[in-house]
Amino acid sequence: MWLRRGILIYSFLVFQICSAQNISRRSFPKGFVFGTASSAFQYEGAVKEGGRGLTIWDTYAHTKGKIVDSSNADVADNQYHLYSEDVRLMKDMGMNAYRFSIAWSRIYPDGTGKINQAGIDYYNNLINALIANGIEPYVTLYHWDLPQSLQDKYLGWLHPLSIKDFATYADTCFKSFGDRVKYWITFNEPHTFIIQGYDMGISAPNRCSVFLRANCSAGNSATEPYIVGHHVLLSHATVVDIYKKRYQPKQHGSIGITLDSFWYESATKSSDDIQATQRALDFNLGWFLDPIIIGDYPRSMRTRVRRRLPRFSKIQSSLVKGSFDFIGINHYTTWYASKANIKGQPNDSISDPGAYINPLKNGKPIGERARSTWLYIVPYGMRSLMNYIRQKYGNPPVIITENGMDDDFVTFKDALNDEKRIKYHNDYLNNLLAAIKDGCNVKGYFAWSLLDNWEWGAGFSCRFGLYYVDYNDKLKRYAKDSAKWFKNFLAS
């Protein structure tokens, strides 16, 4: 088992980078990309402008009791109107790339049918502004904001028609923007939006087993996550196939997918806990990366989920396998894993791995906590995860498409003096550089996030930005010390 070997290999590396070294852009290989990341729903606002249609997140955010601070993303950071200013901020920092998502409902307000030219025009303007300022656009096609019309029409990702409609939307984007966009990402974090939206019911479209959770009116936590995951993988592979056959020969771009993954440390050296740790990785990263690299789901998923896990036909397996030019990885934190003592058969995608994951061991946290209850600062997890991907999956090209931390809700003055965030990025970048020196094929790093923004279920209650956004004064942007740190880091 790779993980057992990995524990032996890295047990002496965990403390190797105790004190981060001073690094800069030139510490990294030539051509290594540095950028910031965002998403349409969290940034754009203008939800009723430019012909945009409603999304499942508009519906969810406006449902009473779903968002911690009772806010919504109707305005968010208003990047729809302020994108020129935000491009200037990126240029001033010295970032050479910007990852953003296209809102499907701005291109097709109803998910299908007639193209909305105003949406095409908006993204053309944004893309052109980025390129004019020497910033490479990295475009995500789906960042959680399914058009509400498709959810109403056939339950969205639960229906195989979603594959066809997503392919039509993606094809339109390639045709409209591919002459300038050279880096495409099909999906952002399928694992997270599936677990939260179809098992836990704490994200759009708010589905889960009613007998398991009290916060959903419909759903099945035992089956729906796997059905949606299957359709997402087939949608991804179909779109990659379209791009590679119709557009890549002329446009000369690259296409991949962004997967989220914690790193998991075995809570003990026992065989049971080591095996549970491997299953935690399989059900997090492997759920999507195994099919894309190998052509099928991890063996542990097949063994434990059984008939609830859909099967690929030979044609589908061939389509999914190898459907990437690069793999995007969103990594923020590390937790412990141990064998879970579950009575009876697991009955949902959270309990199926048979792994208990927790940031605490014997009451002691694995690292310092950021504001979010799930985000503990464990820089060596970056190096461990990169080496795991290198060893287990044949060292594919990887781009860190998100990495960052959120602040405690503090005063304006304290928010700008974000030394904790500076240390976070410095330490994680040190470990990323160490992974590259280990031989990991990592090509870029995107900080989450350029701006404070609307953070899904947390609303505006936490701040991940390098720039502070004053939500009480016309959304003015102010550079935090971390933005100034990145400017110095990138200027070296």
Give the C-alpha distances (Å, rounded to integers) separating 285 from 81, 226, 346, 442. Answer: 36, 14, 20, 17
Q: Is the separation of the CB atoms in 487 and 94 below 8 Å?
A: yes
From first CA to last CA, the distance across the chain in angstroms is: 42
Q: Which ranges of 404-455 would DSSP assign to H, the alpha helix?
A: 412-416, 419-438
Question: How far is Cα 290 from Cα 283, in angstroms, rounded to an integer?
Answer: 10
β-bridge mates for residue 357, sequence order: 337
Q: Which of 44, 224, 265, 402 is catalytic?
A: 402
Question: How far is Cα 196 from Cα 204, in angstroms, rounded to an integer?
Answer: 8
b/e map of 54-91 (b: 16 or more CB within 10 Å)? Answer: bbbbbbbbeeeebbeeebbbebbbbbbebbeebbebbb
Active site residue 44: no
Give the C-alpha distances (Å, rounded to integers) separating 191 from 101, 141, 187, 319, 434. Answer: 18, 16, 10, 20, 27
The beta strand positions in 317-390, using DSSP E, are 326-330, 334-339, 355-358, 360-361, 364-365, 368-369, 376-377
Say which residues have a Cβ less than 8 Å from residue 260's Cβ, sequence separation at least 6. 189, 191, 192, 284, 329, 330, 331, 402
Active site residue 49: no
Question: How far is Cα 36 from Cα 212, in angstroms, rounded to an integer?
Answer: 38
Query: Using omega within 30 degrees of 0 as the cis cutoff, is the peptide bond preceding 396 cis?
Result: no
Amino acid of residue 263: W
Question: How far is Cα 436 from Cα 433, in angstroms, rounded to an integer?
Answer: 5
Burial of 342 (0-12, 13-18, 19+ CB in 10 A): middle
Q: Which of 189, 224, 265, 455 is catalytic?
A: 189
Q: Is the separation of the CB atoms in 53 and 105 below 8 Å?
A: yes
Closest to 93 measured CA to CA, from 25, 143, 194, 174: 25
Amino acid of residue 91: K
Amino acid of residue 164: K
Active site residues: 189, 402
